[in-house]
Amino acid sequence: MKHAPSEKHTLSIIVDNESGVLARIVGLFSARGYNIDSLTVADVSTDHAVSRITIVTSGPPPVIDQIIAQLDRLVPVHRVLDLTELGPHVEREMALVKVAGTGDKRVEALRLADIFRARPVDTSTNSFVFEVSGSTEKVDQFIALMREVGLVEVARTGVVAIARGAEAA
């Protein structure tokens, strides 16, 4: 069953916002040997009762099914959505990218940032911090380009995702 080709899936997990819930979910992945490519979590309800966890995971389809079933039986999990399976959805991630340099490098960094609609959110005479958001691929690409003009360090949020259309998924 493990030999089918691996697929990347984005899961949206709605959970009770209680202590230990993240440990429960992360522990499940490590205990059962599942992959976590990225993970984000934040409280998403007005009364702070519910959080949304977005996990990008990869594995053959039967393993993805098993991951969903395992998550679904945890008591504080309200529901698990496989956004990749459900169809049209938006995935975004944000990165803060610090580059340092002077002269041509500095000009080139600004020019590239413009093409990627990355905004400088901090500036000094020899550095920028850019805020860039978009698909994981776009963020990857931007970071790769920044390497050539003086990348210093990167912080990324990991993917957040939501289904398209008027309805809650």
Partner 1 sequence: MSAIQPADTSREMTGAEIVVQALIDQGVDTIFGYPGGAVLPIYDALFAEGRIKHILVRHEQAAVHAAEGYARSSGKVGVVLVTSGPGATNAVTGITDAMMDSIPLVVITGQVPTHLIGTDAFQECDTVGITRHCSKHNYLIKETARLASALHEAFYIARSGRPGPVVIDIPKDVQIMRGPYAAPTAAGHKTYKPQTKGDQTAIETAVEMLAAAERPILYTGGGVINSGPHATTLLRALAALTGAPVTSTLMGLGTMEHRHKQFLGMLGMHGSYEANMAMNRCDLMLCIGARFDDRVTGRLDAFSPHSKKIHIDIDRSSINKTVRVDLGIVGDVGSVLEDMLALWKARGHAAQDLEPWWADIAGWRARDCFGFKQQGPALLPQKAIQRLWEKTRDQAPIISTEVGQHQMWAAQHFGFDAPNKWLTSGGLGTMGYGLPAAIGAQLANPGALVIDIAGEASIQMNIQELGTATQYRLPVKIFIINNEYMGMVRQWQELNHGGRYSESYSDSLPDFVKLAEAYGWKGITINGPDDLDAGIDAMLAHDGPVVVDCRVTKLANCFPMIPSGAAHTDMMLEGEAPPTSEPDEDAKALV
Site residues (vs partner 1, CB under 8 A): 1, 16, 19-20, 23-24, 27-28, 31, 62, 65-66, 69-70, 72-76, 78
Shortest gap between Cβ of 42 and partner 1 (angstroms)? 19
Shortest gap between Cβ of 167 and partner 1 (angstroms)? 20
Q: C-alpha distances in angstroms, 98 versus 66, 88, 103, 139?
A: 39, 33, 16, 13
Euclidean distance between CA atoms 149 and 76, whole angstroms: 46
Euclidean distance between CA atoms 96 and 79, whole angstroms: 31
Q: Identify any residues that bridge with 64 across adjacent strands, giving them in sequence order.
A: none
Beta strand residue intervals within the chain, DSSP E:
7-16, 38-43, 50-59, 77-82, 89-100, 119-124, 127-134, 151-156, 160-163
The residue type of 97 is V
Euclidean distance between CA atoms 23 and 168, whole angstroms: 26
Shortest gap between Cβ of 50 and partner 1 (angstroms)? 10
